[in-house]
Amino acid sequence: MAEKFDNDSGVVTEQKPKEKLEPKLKRPRMYRVLLHNDDYTTREFVVDVLCGVFHHSESKAMEIMLHVHYTGVGVAGVFTREVAETKIAIVEKLAEEREYPLRLTMEPDENPDE
Ligand code: TYC
């Protein structure tokens, strides 16, 4: 939109807003990593994973684990696609090594640019 612009000469001219030359950097699409409840994985293992892989504090990890335990599902964290996929693969391997059926999935998070 053109704006009236009063310069020092006292002449009122019209000046278009300058177009930005630099390309707009879009924020990457983000993904929620979901943790699903089961009857066999220990609470301690889930808390360890939430601390060690998702970098939550002990108390936040406990809160998330209990939320999943009582409601069936919860968010372990929100990441770019590659980071989410890598964290899921790391946890799946740790769970497999202990023969736990722990299940993680990912889903797109709300994107503020869209
Ligand atoms: N329900 C499990 C138990 O009682 C604990 C658990 C919590 C398992 C969260 C998985 O994602 C999970 N031992």
* Domain residue ranges of the chain, discontinuous segments joined by +: 29-108
Does ligand 1 come within 6 angstroms of the Cβ of 35? yes
* Sign of the dihedral through C-alpha 99, 102, 89, 45: negative
- The CATH number of 29-108 is which of 3.30.70.260, 3.30.1390.10, 3.40.50.920, 3.40.50.720? 3.30.1390.10
Whether 59 and 47 have beta carbons less than 8 Å apart is answered as no
Q: State how far the alpha carbon of 81 is from the alpha carbons of 24, 27, 87, 112, 114, in Å.
A: 21, 12, 10, 16, 17
Q: Which of 86, 104, 2 is nearest to 45 (CA)?
A: 104
Angle, CA 33 vertex, CA 65 and CA 81 arms, to 5°:
160
Whether the CB of 46 sits within 6 Å of ligand 1: yes
Q: Which pLDDT tens digit goes with each residue over 4-47?
A: 444 455 555 566 666 767 788 889 999 999 999 999 999 999 99
Q: How far is the CA of 46 from the centre of ligand 1 (A)?
A: 7
Question: What is the pTM assigned to this prediction?
Answer: 0.81
**Residue 11: what pLDDT?**
57
